[in-house]
């Protein structure tokens, strides 16, 4: 039989179970050696322990080339992880795409770059982004290369607006990155002294305090960043290093939570406010935390906050490193084309008339929808799909380690019991979001709640004659601190390079298929496995399933 590109053959001899298939993604729950820094193994998790001890359990790679990132030194993240889970194949991702565009010079040949430089020559060129080498949202090397190129192309005045990391890199590492950038700026200024070249850091603040909100969870955070970078609203300092050193001395707060600041001149005037005709380049390559600030700069109908509250909104030429939302066209101008991901597993399921749901709370809702669907907003087929967003609380997640895991579970159970859905997927965000706080005991509590809810889900899946698949998108909670040579514990707030668990719970299983994970199996192998469990033959170009059927 000939099948169209978006049709699937039925599997001979296995048509799936009578009940629904549920995929549980425990965000940030990796596999690392047991020990006091591992919140996953320190927690009391009898349900997860039983799952991982079953004969239908293995581990999957969730970092580096396995998810489209440049090297094995690159941590995975929720965005590329969900891309791989939903696409069934590995696509070159943000950092890799940008690296190639810079190395080949394609970025500089892009008319959008040329337009930004033209504005920069006549006015000021601003660079805004996460200031580290974490390689999850951005890379400081990309900033440095663009600064040097802008100077070579005749830009005389540039300003850098730094978002301090402390999340994908050590918690208090901002001064090291600031020193690197100041060295680059000094070299540019010295080389162009005869032309009056003036490149400086102008503003900044912690990534969880200003600018980098996502999914509309905290627009006030975006407003603080917008007003800081655009109009110079923030605590004044003579340099970014002085700002960080002062705030370090005042508390033990990590970089990601530091307050907004602006760099001022001898008269106390901010050195880098934005004005009509300026260019603004947002150099983050990851989309989720770049969309809202992009909208604030370029959307003529923007109404999430009053952009004119401090001073009139300037008419700037704005561009992003990539287009962060291909459906909503945000931003309209960008420097590097994002990966084109087509024929996701959800597209195939919709083509086959399979009813599905996706659910999480706000913090990860976009991951089981937008990123899962190949960086596309909205429904593929609203007649077959239901997306449920449970609003996240705007709180420090170490104070509420359960987050909305119990609410996600209750809503999932209601949808499973409705009988309307053949496949569902959910994301439990707490392993990642609480893990990012660096608070070990809160993350242990988060894992305990996940285990409690997994037990409830398994009970309902068994009641309905279905199958549950458990996995994660990357590590985080599995390594909560490192130790110095003299035994001092340093909180680890970043993702890890750990593999992630993969387990199938199928109460009706009696050996008709077995685990057969290929060498180097990663998150992209999950999609074919889900299709196998639903009774379909996966597309031939999908990464192979981790199960095989006995003859």
Residue pair 181/224 in contact by the 8 Å Cβ criterion: no
For residue 129, the cross-strand partners are 162
How far, in Å, CA of 414 to CA of 461, rounded? 12
**Strand boundaries in 21-115, DSSP class E:** 21-26, 57-60
How far, in Å, CA of 535 to CA of 322, rounded? 37
> Measured between alpha carbons, how far is residue 32 from residues 43, 476, 496, 500 in Å?
13, 10, 9, 9
For residue 549, the cross-strand partners are 513
| Residues marked as catalytic | 78
Residue with tokens 């590995």: 90
* 337-363 burial: b if 16+ Cβ within 10 Å, else e: ebbebebbbbbbbbbbebbbbbbbbbb
3-state secondary structure 353-415: CCCEEEEEEHHHHHHHHHHCCCCCCCCCCCCCEEEEEECCCCCCHHHCCCCCHHHHHHHHHHH
The distance of Cα 19 from the centroid of its chain, to the nearest Å, equals 32
Residue with tokens 């099948």: 3
Which residues, 6 or more positions from 168, have their beta carbon under 8 angstroms from its beta carbon? 75, 130, 132, 134, 135, 136, 137, 494, 495
CA angle 83, 87, 88 (to 5 degrees): 120
Q: How many CB atoms lie within 10 A of CB 385?
A: 21
Closest CA to 475 of 32, 11, 21: 32
Q: What is the CA radius of gyration of the chain?
A: 24
Residue pair 359/411 in contact by the 8 Å Cβ criterion: yes
Residue pair 126/279 in contact by the 8 Å Cβ criterion: yes
How far, in Å, CA of 519 to CA of 517, rounded? 7
Residue pair 359/413 in contact by the 8 Å Cβ criterion: no
Kindly list the strands in the beta sheet with 198-206, ordered across the sheet, starting from the edge strand earlier in the chain: 235-237, 261-263, 198-206, 157-164, 125-130, 279-282, 317-322, 334-336
Which residues, 6 or more positions from 549, have their beta carbon under 8 angstroms from its beta carbon? 11, 13, 14, 512, 513, 532
For residue 57, the cross-strand partners are 503
For residue 128, the cross-strand partners are 161, 282
Residue pair 523/86 in contact by the 8 Å Cβ criterion: no
Q: Is 25 helix (H, G, I), strand (E, B) or coil?
A: strand
Q: What is the largest CA-CA distance in the chain?
A: 81
Which residues, 6 or more positions from 175, have their beta carbon under 8 angstroms from its beta carbon? 241, 244, 245
């Amino acid at each position: 039989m000939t099948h169209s590109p978006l049709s699937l053959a039925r599997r001979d001899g296995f048509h799936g179970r009578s009940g629904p298939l549920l995929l549980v993604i425990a965000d940030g729950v990796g596999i690392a050696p047991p020990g006091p820094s591992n919140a996953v193994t320190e927690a009391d998790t009898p349900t997860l322990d039983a799952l991982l001890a079953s004969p239908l359990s293995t581990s999957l790679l969730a970092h580096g080339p396995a998810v489209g990132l440049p090297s094995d030194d690159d941590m995975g993240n929720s965005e590329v992880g969900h891309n791989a889970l939903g696409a069934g194949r590995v696509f070159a991702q943000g950092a890799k795409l940008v690296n190639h565009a810079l190395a080949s010079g394609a970025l500089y040949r892009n008319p959008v770059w040329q337009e930004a430089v033209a504005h920069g020559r006549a006015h000021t060129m601003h660079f805004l982004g996460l200031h580290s080498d974490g390689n999850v949202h951005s890379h400081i090397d990309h900033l440095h290369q663009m600064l040097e190129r802008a100077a070579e192309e005749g830009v005389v005045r540039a300003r850098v607006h730094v978002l301090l990391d402390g999340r994908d890199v050590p918690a208090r590492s901002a001064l090291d990155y600031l020193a690197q950038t100041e060295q680059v700026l000094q070299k540019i200024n010295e080389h162009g002294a005869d032309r009056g070249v003036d490149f400086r850091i102008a503003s900044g603040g912690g990534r969880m305090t200003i600018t980098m909100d996502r999914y509309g969870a905290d627009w006030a955070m975006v407003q603080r960043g917008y007003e800081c970078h655009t109009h110079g609203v923030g605590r004044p300092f003579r340099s970014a290093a002085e700002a960080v050193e002062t705030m370090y001395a005042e508390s033990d707060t990590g970089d990601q939570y530091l307050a907004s600041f602006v760099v001022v001149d001898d008269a106390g005037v901010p050195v880098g406010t934005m004005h009509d005709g300026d260019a603004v380049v947002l150099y983050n390559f990851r989309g989720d935390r770049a969309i809202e600030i992009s909208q604030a700069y370029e959307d003529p109908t923007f109404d999430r906050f009053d952009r004119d509250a401090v001073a009139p909104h300037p008419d700037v030429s704005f561009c992003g490193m990539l287009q962060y939302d291909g459906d909503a066209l945000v931003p309209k101008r960008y420097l590097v084309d994002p990966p084109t991901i087509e024929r996701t597993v959800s597209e195939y399921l919709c083509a086959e008339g399979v009813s599905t749901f996706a659910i999480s709370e706000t913090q990860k809702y976009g991951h089981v929808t937008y990123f899962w669907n190949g960086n596309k907003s909205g429904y593929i087929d609203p007649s077959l799909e239901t997306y449920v967003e449970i609003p996240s609380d705007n709180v420090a997640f170490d104070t509420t380690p359960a987050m909305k895991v119990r609410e996600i579970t209750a809503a999932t159970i209601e949808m499973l019991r409705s009988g309307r859905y053949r496949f569902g997927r959910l994301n439990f965000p707490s392993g990642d979001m609480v893990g990012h706080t660096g608070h070990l005991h809160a993350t242990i509590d988060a894992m305990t709640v996940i285990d409690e809810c997994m037990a409830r889900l398994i009970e309902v899946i068994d009641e309905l004659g279905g199958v549950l698949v458990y996995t994660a998108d990357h590590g985080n909670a599995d390594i909560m601190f490192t130790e110095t040579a003299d035994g001092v514990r340093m909180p680890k707030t970043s993702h890890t390079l750990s593999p992630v668990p993969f387990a199938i719970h199928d109460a009706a299983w009696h050996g008709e298929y077995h685990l057969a994970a290929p060498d180097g199996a990663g998150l992209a192998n999950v999609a074919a496995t889900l299709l196998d469990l639903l009774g379909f033959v996966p597309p031939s170009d999908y990464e192979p399933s981790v199960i095989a059927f006995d003859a």
